């Protein structure tokens, strides 16, 4: 795609307020792909003003018409699926096959779901002698991450538009090109001017200005818990609505009697997907003592099939991480695991042979990991799996719940009801049972320091609504 040298504000591409730019590079080889403007507080102010001006008309637009615009947006994204996949592969480094199957397909499906949901959602209900209205919150400031760049945009913008809110989007600086592509699709879909606005820029500049802007009614942020804590504090001080989707350190609990081979294979695949850059990845595999050694052997065999490669090659299963800073962070955690006494079963802190130029990390598996180690407590955000041993179900539960996070998890058992009963005791927002597949209409979000609020489906739509009751 051709990068824009301006911001999408009030229905048109306009020059940025300042001269600053952001270089977008390919993490596979470090080559420069494009430059985009680095927006500042003035750009954010212009975008918020446009969103505020557009809100009265959009908020009172019939839900059926809002649904029609979302349907048109879905069609525009569907027509660009190939371009979406290629763009994400270029700026994120995701293998092209994964970009097609996930980075392009999932947000297209989510957009279709919200088009359907918007048409039939009960924005009004009757309770006794009261009429209860679910009304749009107002202007939304959406700050999205780089790891699933289009999915996270659609998961915020689509429900916000369905609810009748207007939006200012500040995408991650590493992956702004797919955000520009999304803005083009919004324009093609006939969404009225000012309803959606895009400001590219750095988090501490444009992102902070958006989060703190007094005319933004709700801040929806996905990213690290550290940044989310600051955004939550700023929003709380302004008595402003906030939705936070933050980090995770999810447990994959394999109970005795489960299909060990399948559980380990799927568990390794889950961690290696997107080069481990998934907040909900099952980065801790918990196995009972009797089956532990076998699980370690199976994991070593499974990870051997994840050979780093060129993300543009259809055969590649694992590409680079997003940038050099992330590569160094992940490699540092791998080195820390070795220093702390974990057993390196596969991988290591050095770059894969032949890929020293790019931002590659060797797919890594640790055994002998104890719950107190940094690699078992802190979010690494790379292709690194820790395998922990437990003695019984209560021990497994204690280990699984023994972090500050609570975003996702998995439970495997030969008895589905046993797995469900165990999952009910996990302090986490969603759990996959025996490999249950992702449901884009089910709520996604975390317990504890993994966030506030939910995304996707009717629960995601509800985040952008406030409630009014009229007593008759």
Between these two residues, 320 and 225, which has the higher pLDDT value? 320
User: Residue 291 is part of a domain; what is its CATH number?
Assistant: 3.40.309.10
Contact 100, 81 (CB under 8 A): yes
Q: Known catalytic residue: 314?
A: no
Q: Is residue 207 part of a domain?
A: yes
Mean per-residue pLDDT, 311-320: 96
pLDDT bracket for residue 239 (50, 70, 90) = confident
Same-domain status, 95 and 194: yes
Backbone angles phi, psi at 351, to 5 degrees: -65, 145
Same-domain status, 152 and 255: no
- State the pTM of this model: 0.97
pLDDT at 1 over 70: no
Q: Is residue 434 part of a domain?
A: yes
pLDDT bracket for residue 18 (50, 70, 90) = confident
Q: Which of 91, 245, 379, 455 is catalytic?
A: 245
pLDDT of residue 3: 85
pLDDT of residue 457: 96
pLDDT bracket for residue 458 (50, 70, 90) = very high
Same-domain status, 217 and 81: yes
Considering only CA atoms, which of 133, 105, 123 is closest in space to residue 67? 123
b/e code 342-359 from CB counts within 10 Å (16+ = b): beebbbbbebbeebeebb
pLDDT at 283 over 70: yes
Decide the pairing of beta strands 384-390 and 364-369.
Answer: parallel
Q: Is residue 1 part of a domain?
A: no
H or E segment and range at residue 466: strand 465-471
pLDDT of residue 7: 97
| Interatomic CA distance for residues 443 and 458, integer angstroms | 8
Mean per-residue pLDDT, 255-279: 98
pLDDT of residue 154: 98
Same-domain status, 208 and 273: no
Q: Is residue 351 part of a domain?
A: yes
Same-domain status, 58 and 197: yes
Same-domain status, 218 and 304: no
User: Residue 175 is part of a domain; what is its CATH number?
Assistant: 3.40.605.10
Same-domain status, 234 and 324: no
Q: Is residue 444 part of a domain?
A: no
Decide the pairing of beta strands 251-254 and 284-288.
Answer: parallel
Same-domain status, 415 and 382: yes
Q: How far apart are the first and last CA of the chain?
A: 55
Same-domain status, 174 and 291: no
Same-domain status, 78 and 119: yes
Same-domain status, 273 and 403: yes
Please give the mean pLDDT across all residues of the chain: 97
Same-domain status, 137 and 221: yes
Domain that holds residue 337: 251-439
Could you give the number of structural domains in the chain? 2
Helix H, strand E, coil C: the string for 55-116 is: HHHHHCCCHHHHHHHHHHHHHHHHHCHHHHHHHHHHHHCCCHHHHHHHHHHHHHHHHHHHHH
Written as one string, the DSSP assignment of 351-384 is PPTT-TTTT----EEEEEE-TTSHHHHS---SSE
DSSP three-state, residue 212: helix
């Amino acid at each position: 795609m051709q990068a824009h040298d301006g911001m999408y504000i009030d229905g048109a591409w306009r020059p940025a307020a300042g001269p600053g730019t952001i270089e977008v590079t390919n993490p596979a080889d470090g080559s420069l792909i494009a430059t985009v403007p680095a927006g500042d507080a003035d750009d954010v102010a212009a975008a918020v003003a446009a969103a505020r001006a557009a809100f009265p008309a959009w908020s009172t637009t019939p839900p059926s018409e809002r649904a029609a615009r979302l349907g048109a947006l879905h069609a525009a994204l569907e027509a660009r699926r190939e371009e979406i996949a290629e763009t994400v592969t270029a700026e994120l480094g995701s293998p092209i096959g994964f970009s097609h199957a996930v980075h392009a397909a999932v947000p297209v499906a989510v957009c279709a779901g919200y088009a359907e949901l918007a048409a039939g959602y009960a924005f009004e209900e009757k309770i006794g002698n009261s009429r209860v209205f679910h009304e749009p919150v107002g202007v939304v400031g959406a700050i999205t991450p780089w790891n699933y760049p289009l999915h996270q945009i659609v998961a915020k913008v689509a429900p916000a538009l369905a609810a009748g809110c207007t939006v200012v989007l500040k995408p991650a600086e590493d992956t702004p090109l797919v955000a520009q592509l999304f803005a083009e699709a919004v324009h093609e879909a006939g969404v009225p001017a000012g309803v959606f606005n895009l400001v590219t820029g750095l988090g501490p500049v444009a992102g902070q200005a958006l989060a703190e802007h007094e005319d933004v009614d709700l801040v929806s942020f996905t990213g690290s818990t550290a940044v989310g804590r600051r955004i939550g504090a700023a929003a709380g001080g302004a008595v402003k609505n906030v939705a936070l989707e933050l980090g995770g350190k999810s447990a994959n609990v394999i109970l005795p009697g489960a299909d060990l081979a399948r559980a380990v294979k799927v568990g390794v695949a889950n961690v290696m997907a997107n080069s481990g850059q998934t907040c909900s990845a099952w980065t801790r595999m918990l196995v009972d003592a009797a089956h532990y050694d076998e699980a370690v052997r199976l994991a070593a065999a499974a990870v051997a099939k994840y050979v780093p490669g060129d993300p543009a090659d259809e055969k590649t299963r694992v590409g680079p991480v997003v940038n050099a800073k992330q590569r160094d962070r992940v490699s540092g955690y791998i080195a820390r695991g070795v220093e702390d006494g974990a057993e390196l079963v596969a991988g290591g802190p050095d770059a894969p042979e032949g890929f020293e130029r790019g931002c590659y990390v060797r797919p890594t598996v640790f055994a002998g990991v104890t719950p107190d180690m940094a690699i078992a407590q802190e979010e690494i955000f790379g292709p690194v799996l820790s395998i922990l041993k437990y003695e019984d179900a209560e021990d497994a539960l204690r280990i699984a719940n023994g972090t500050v996070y609570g975003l996702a998890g998995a439970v495997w058992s030969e008895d589905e009801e046993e797995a469900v009963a165990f999952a009910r005791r996990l302090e986490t927002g969603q759990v996959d049972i025996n490999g249950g597949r992702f449901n884009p209409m089910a709520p996604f979000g975390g317990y504890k320091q993994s966030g506030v609020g939910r995304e996707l489906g009717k629960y995601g739509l509800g985040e952008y609504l406030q409630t009014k009751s009229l007593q008759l």
